[in-house]
A and B are shown apart, each in its own frame.
Chain A
């Protein structure tokens, strides 16, 4: 067992994301009695697709949260030195790293194909007689336990069998517990349980096989690709949620004010968002990120460890994405507020002399929440996709921080190698595609349930 000699590290992004979780939880807790919200959510979750996609998203979010619990390990005191002072590792580790059980620490020298035993490229080395030969090098962390290379596939089969047994046992425990609690429920929980079982089995398999092989190979720098892909989850999920979190207050405040007070307030808000949206978004983002990077470069002493520097850039990116993208939501909310202001219940509130603040808080805001929600879910996937593009352009995540965009960016020319190195791209593609697809499908369901306009416009008697 590992000793808990560790110093917790709270990065700014960690703090923000846990704050977001708390905010969301209280938000939904307070809405629990609202009849419309309940009805609509139950519409989303009564479909199997809703259950499956929600579970997948939750798995991603869970991994992202585990990866947001950071600490620095205590270093063992050098032998012979008696000191009470504890030194901490300069490298920041997360709970996810612990659970992956050293998956990220098994470096090779350079490329290796998935499940390979030898390196992908030839390199110079000495044979047992000390002669210089050029051959494929044996990997340091793959298949070392095998008696002969021919045993690889039987060994893999054996490992898979054991992993599946453990995985199924764990899945049975997790699902069984939920079954006891939820068996009377009308929702199709079994769809969710199936996904949970598959995910648990896959993770158990991945972690246990990774002890002996590189499941998705290694990249140019010799890092395990599967590990990198998993580390990309936190970046993707946090970027998708935090940017929206930054954008929401601006968009909602301005949109509601413009739609409610009309007149000059409306003119000013409209001017603001027309101006902002007329600037090519990518240039604005790029310029802002570059300017922030200049600031980081010129003030290096503000950041204790390298990770904090990367984190500062990450937060800045979230803020910049949020600050540059509020115009479309603002427009929607303004239009909806204009509509609601004309409705009988707002007029009645005026007739009752209810104050502006109370009308906004009680009558207008609760009735535009559905737009906020739809936007939150819809924007999530597009932000995850945007991260990859921004990283390619060079204004995305700091290269030292794992992200799918950086993986793609590093690997974009590798397909033109002969033979092609496809696994880095494949890893990033798979993990990104699953998240974005699940989010897109889920957002469709949410929109169908919450947007009265998208409901089937059937005419009847």
Chain B
């Protein structure tokens, strides 16, 4: 093994184009990977970071074409190798792990067999020795009971374990270089931390040269030695990690860093009259079994949640995927039937209202969904989309007044009035989310349920949308129930925070109290994995 800090892979002036139109995707990317160090390539979606990683391994889809550049490994340019020799480089010298382990693993092959395949391709190991090596790799990456896991299929493992299998597969032939493309994005924050630690340890112990591709500045802060910021196909800034976070040179880099939470400033808690009160709300889904499909048990999606949201207040409901937070939101909107408890809005119980009786409350409680692309009918114009609620809830407006109001709303969410005649597919995610906000505001609601409204957006745009939401709150005094998995956006936004786990609200309190002095161990675990600056 060579000494730490040696250059293991050098990418020089890599250029990639769209084969059909000749549009430039990468405009001359250069970087070096050094033994025992992690180089983090950060950027938002579409910046070209994944293309860079695939191009170095010559794994680009046919629509993309490498037009110039070189990738040197041990003085050998990979772009000059014939495809057959390239196959002995992949997996042997340079290994990769991908974002979504569930889909990146072959669903009908046992995980042991998939790891063994790498070894079979590049080493003479066979039979028992091969199996022993795989089991050893499994235990190295921290898979419990590795011997029996050999014959498991990917779907039988948890997301974190699947990603560990991917890592075992990548490390099987002891490569010098590891390319990790968003290895933790699909994982819950607590698992994310464990996987990143594993990658970090292995980098040190095996003197790996790692290219880590991510959009998450927190991940960079935790794991990387060197950072490259990618923007529109170019690396606009390259720096050691300490220097980068304390003294970013580019505006764009600063914006990315600023999106990290600041745990020193919180929203002051104002005690107000309660607008929405939940008392022991339950949402159960029946589990049916047996010949007659009798209900044998229930999935307790929401299991006795009580909380209260005041007028003009933001309540952040935090939890990992599957914790029941979105189901609770749907129950409040009466889109899901609640199985027990009371949902009081301005003192009235709205939990058991019929479709018709619910109508007057529809005006007062509105919703913004996570995925802006699927939350608008692609066949309606923006104007028609915003007008829908006004028409169906009978705001008592004439057609002319309605048009005028649409214009005002578009102004308010900082979009041009002419956009009303355009169709959703012409807009970016951030713009669509503004339209969704305008649609919700159109009926003058008092409570808006925001179901992960920013999780599909890039960080720089996320900040703008959140800023807009806060402005509107000050202006109209509307309350938010803000459902999110991302604790990092909470401090600047929420007055109160509730933490949900497996359908139960395990802890709630003011934002400051939850984020600085959490009591429940789960909250602490969540909080520990939140990336932030002040830890440095």
A34 to chain B: which residues have CB within 8 Å?
379
Q: How many A-B residue pairs have CB under 8 A?
A: 86
Q: Which of B64, B330, B377 sits near A345, CB closer than 8 Å?
A: B377
Contact: B378 with A36, CB < 8 Å? yes
Contacts of B81 in A (CB 8 A): none
Contact A458 B63 (CB under 8 A): yes
Pairwise interchain contact A35-B423, C-beta atoms closer than 8 A: yes
Per the bound structure, the CA–CA distance linking A353 and B389 in Å amounts to: 8
Determine if A347 and B49 form an interchain contact, defined as CB atoms under 8 angstroms apart.
Answer: no
Q: Mark B316-343, 1 if CB is under 8 A from A, else 0.
A: 0000000000000010010100000000
| B211 on interface, CB distance cutoff 8 Å | no
Smallest beta-carbon distance B357→chain A, Å: 11
Q: Are B63 and A362 in contact (CB under 8 A)?
A: no
CB distance from B355 to the nearest CB of A (A): 8
Residue of A nearest to B98 (CB): A459
- A458 touching B61, Cβ below 8 Å: yes
Determine how close the nearest CB of chain B comes to the CB of A52; give it in whole angstroms: 23
- Of the candidates A35, A358, A461, the one whose C-beta lies within 8 Å of that of B25 is A461
How many angstroms between the C-alpha atoms of A354 and B45 in the bound complex? 35
Q: Given A344-B369, A460-B63, A351 and B362 touching (CB < 8 A)?
A: yes
Residue A26 at the B interface, CB < 8 A? no
**Contact partner of A348 among B54, B375, B393, CB < 8 A?**
B375
- Closest chain A CB from B211 CB (angstroms): 14
B93 within 8 A of A: no
- Judging by beta carbons under 8 Å apart, are A347 and B61 in contact? no
- Interface residues as binary, A427-461 with B (CB distance below 8 Å gives 1, 0 otherwise): 00000000000000000000000000000101111
Cα(A343)–Cα(B424), bound, Å: 15
Flag if B425 contacts A347 (CB, 8 Å). Answer: no
Residue of A nearest to B443 (CB): A352
The answer to whether A363 has its CB under 8 Å from any CB of chain B is yes
- Decide if the interface of chain A is mainly helix, strand, loop or mixed: helix
Q: Which residues of A contact B367 (CB under 8 A)?
A: 347-348, 351
Chain B contacts with A in 14-63, Cβ cutoff 8 A: 25, 45-51, 54, 61-63
B335 near A350 with CB under 8 A, answer: yes
B378 touches A461 (CB 8 A): no
The count of residues in chain B whose C-beta lies closer than 8 Å to any C-beta of chain A is 45
Rounded to whole Å, the gap between the CB of B31 and the closest CB of chain A is 16
Asked whether B393 lies within 8 Å of A353 as measured between CB atoms, the reply is yes
Please indicate the chain B residues that have their CB under 8 angstroms from the CB of A349 in the complex. Answer: 388, 392
Q: A366: CB under 8 A from chain B?
A: yes
Contact yes or no, A367 B392, CB < 8 A: no
Does B425 contact A36, Cβ atoms closer than 8 Å?
A: yes
Q: Tell me if A355 counts as interface (CB < 8 A to partner B).
A: yes
Nearest CB on B from A75, distance (A): 56
Give a binary string over A285-297; 1 marks a CB under 8 Å from any B CB, 0 the rest: 0000000000000
The reply to whether A460 and B369 form a contact with Cβ atoms under 8 Å apart is: no
Asked whether A353 lies within 8 Å of B392 as measured between CB atoms, the reply is yes
Judging by beta carbons under 8 Å apart, are A367 and B379 in contact? Answer: yes
List of B residues within 8 angstroms of A362 by Cβ: 377, 380
The reply to whether B379 and A344 contact each other, CB–CB distance below 8 Å, is no
Query: With A and B bound together, what is the CA distance between A36 and B374 in angstroms?
Result: 15
> Cβ of B46 and Cβ of A351 under 8 Å apart?
no
Does B439 belong to the interface (CB within 8 Å)? yes
Task: Say if the beta carbon of B219 comes within 8 Å of chain A.
Answer: no
CB neighbours of B376 from chain A (8 A): 344-345
Minimal beta-carbon separation of A439 from chain B (angstroms): 27
For A459, what are the chain B residues with a Cβ–Cβ distance below 8 Å?
61
Q: Are A345 and B375 in contact (CB under 8 A)?
A: yes
Q: Is the CB of A352 within 8 A of B393?
A: yes
A430 to chain B, nearest CB (A): 38
Which single member of B45, B63, B362, B392 contacts A358 (CB below 8 Å)? B392
| Alpha-carbon separation in the docked complex, A119 to B460 (Å) | 86
Say yes or no: is B359 at the interface (Cβ < 8 Å to chain A). Answer: yes
B389 near A352 with CB under 8 A, answer yes
Contact of B375 with A344 in the complex, beta carbons under 8 Å? yes
Q: Say yes or no: A344 contacts B371, CB within 8 Å.
A: yes
Rounded to whole Å, the gap between the CB of A186 and the closest CB of chain B is 16
Q: Which of A352, A363, A460 has the most CB of B within 10 A?
A: A352
What separation, in Å, do the CA atoms of A354 and B49 have in the docked complex?
43
Closest residue to A350 on the B side, CB-wise? B335
Which residues of B have CB within 8 Å of A350? Answer: 333, 335
| Minimum distance in angstroms from A455 CB to a CB of chain B | 12
Considering only CB atoms, which chain B residue lies closest to A352 in the complex? B389
Q: Are B375 and A343 in contact (CB under 8 A)?
A: yes
Residue of chain B at shortest CB distance from A459: B61
B379 / chain A contacts, CB cutoff of 8 Å: 34, 36, 366-367
Whether the pair A461, B49 counts as a contact (CB closer than 8 A) is yes
Within 8 Å CB of A355, what residues of B?
392
Residue B68 lies at the interface, judged by CB distance under 8 Å to chain A:
no
How far, in angstroms, from A355 to B425 measured CA to CA in the complex? 25
Does B366 have its Cβ within 8 Å of any Cβ on chain A?
yes
CB neighbours (8 Å) of A458 from chain B are: 61-63
Query: B395 to chain A: closest CB distance in Å?
Result: 11
Residues of chain A within 8 A (CB-CB) of B370 are 344
Q: Which of A351, A367, A458 gathers the greatest number of chain B CB atoms within 10 Å?
A: A351
Q: Which residue of A has the minimal Cβ distance to B52?
A: A461
> What chain A residues lie within 8 Å of B49 (beta carbons)?
461
By beta carbon, the residue of chain B nearest A369 is B379
Which chain A residues lie closer than 8 Å to B380 at the CB level? 362
B388 engages A354 (CB within 8 Å): yes
* Cβ–Cβ contact B388 & A352, under 8 A: yes
Known: A351-B367, A353-B393. A461 touches B51 (CB 8 A): yes
B295 within 8 A of A: no
Distance in Å from the Cβ of B258 to the closest Cβ of chain A? Answer: 24
Residue of A nearest to B61 (CB): A458
B436: A residues at CB distance < 8 A: 348
B358 at the interface (CB under 8 A from A): yes
Bound form: Cα–Cα A355–B423 in Å: 23
Q: Which of B362, B377, B439 contacts A353 (CB 8 A)?
A: B362
Closest beta carbon of chain A to B447's beta carbon, Å: 12
The 10 closest A-B pairs by CB, nearest first: A344-B375, A353-B362, A352-B389, A344-B369, A461-B50, A461-B51, A354-B392, A345-B377, A343-B374, A366-B379
A sample of 6 inter-chain contacts (CB < 8 A) reads A345-B375, A352-B392, A353-B358, A367-B378, A460-B51, A460-B64
